[in-house]
Amino acid sequence: MTQRTFSIIKPDAVRKGYTGAILAEIEKAGFKIVSIKKASISKEQAKGFYYVHAQRPFFEDLCTFMSSGPLFLMVLEKDNAIADLRTLMGATNPANAEEGTIRKQFAGSIQENAIHGSDGEDTAAFEIGYWFAGCELI
């Protein structure tokens, strides 16, 4: 069934000039880009987005990193989009990521790991609504 997921090309990948290469991987894998926008987010906005991680030791550093430079916010669509994007991304720590995955190719560390993807239907709905208005998703 056609499904939507939310993704971010993170500031590390944008800084390194990998945006186009990552978008090419995403399109090659069959995703339709429903919406995409460049943004520079505040640390407070990052904290609201990653609120589920608020108690984790890496939370402050993660939110500082996510607000350290421009990123690309995206809504992607395909059959089984949520799980398929997670597969295409690879493991959180690029050292453990499968060959050919986006994180294996473009991530530098467990924190600066190039891309975000929603991990379930509920989180996809929350994350799309956090960054996009309905009128941006037609």
- E-strand stretches of the chain: 2-9, 32-39, 71-79, 115-117
Least Å distance between CB 119 and Mg ion?
Answer: 5
- Judged by beta carbon, residue 78 or residue 135, the one nearer ligand ATP is 78
- Please give the Cα distance from 84 to 75 (Å, whole number): 14
Least Å distance between CB 111 and ligand ATP?
Answer: 4
Contact footprint for ligand ATP (CB under 6 A): 53, 58, 62, 92, 110-111, 113, 116-117, 119
Task: Decide if 4 contacts 34 (C-beta within 8 A).
Answer: yes
- Please give the Cα distance from 106 to 115 (Å, whole number): 9
Q: Please identify which of the residues 4, 10, 103, 116 carries the catalytic annotation.
A: 116
Q: Binding residues for Mg ion, per CB under 5 A?
A: 119
Residues labelled as active-site residues: 116
